[in-house]
């Protein structure tokens, strides 16, 4: 942390602050939004085609249905919280994004990649890309959140210092 001389405090503009959102995380979430739309249409088409060719309404893989429901419910909320939390530098939204990435998304991605019954090569291919997105988001979100917290803490203390030196209480 840099030291600030008292003579330069009055020249300091606190409103001109450093942006602390993460470009890499924003790109991950942005591309994941479009890939999730493609993934959901492809996955739905694959499941419907299995029902059409097998001529049975009963799904032999009930867990896959549960994982797909988890995905369709949590994924829009997860991606919105990651997108908005990073752009608006909102730490609680980023923490919510990380929690939703850890529990429903990671579990469903890993199940659909490794343990799904009746997998085809296209299932494995599209699920591998989705799992890479999710794992990168799991690894990088805490780094971006910690960096954001550190920079916001410095700005908070600097703002208090400027207000105290200017005579505001």
Instruction: Write out the chain's pLDDT in tens, 169 residues.
Output: 555 555 555 555 555 566 788 999 999 999 999 999 999 999 989 888 877 776 566 667 788 888 888 899 999 999 999 999 999 999 999 999 999 999 999 999 999 999 888 888 999 999 999 999 999 999 999 999 999 998 888 877 777 777 777 877 6
**Helix axis angle, 121-166 to 23-54, nearest 10°:** 150
Token digits for 143? 């780094």
Length of the chain counted residue by residue: 169
Q: What is the pTM of this model?
A: 0.80
Token digits for 74? 């949590």
Q: What is the 3-state secondary structure (H, E, C) of the chain?
A: CCCCCHHHCCCCCCCCCCCCCCHHHHHHHHHHHHHHHHHHHHHHHHHHHHHHHHCCCCCCCHHHHHHHHHHHHHHHHHHHHHHHHHHCCCHHHHHHHHHHHHHHHHHHHHHHHHCCCCCCHHHHHHHHHHHHHHHHHHHHHHHHHHHHHHHHHHHHHHHHHHHHHHCCC
């Amino acid at each position: 942390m840099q030291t600030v001389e008292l003579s330069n405090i009055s020249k300091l503009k606190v409103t001109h602050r450093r942006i602390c959102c993460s470009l890499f995380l924003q790109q991950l979430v942005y591309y994941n939004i479009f890939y999730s739309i493609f993934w959901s249409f492809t996955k739905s088409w694959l499941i419907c085609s299995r029902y059409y060719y097998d001529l049975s309404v009963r799904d032999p893989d009930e867990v896959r249905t549960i994982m797909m429901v988890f995905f369709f419910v949590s994924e829009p909320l997860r991606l919105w919280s990651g997108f908005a939390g990073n752009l608006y530098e909102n730490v609680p939204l980023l923490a919510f994004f990380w929690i939703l990435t850890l529990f429903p998304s990671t579990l469903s991605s890993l199940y659909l990649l490794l343990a799904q019954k009746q997998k085809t090569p296209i299932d494995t291919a599209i699920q591998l890309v989705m799992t890479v997105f999710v794992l990168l988001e799991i690894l990088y979100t805490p780094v971006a959140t910690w960096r954001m917290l550190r920079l916001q803490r410095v700005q908070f203390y600097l703002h208090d210092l400027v207000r105290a030196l200017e005579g505001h209480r």
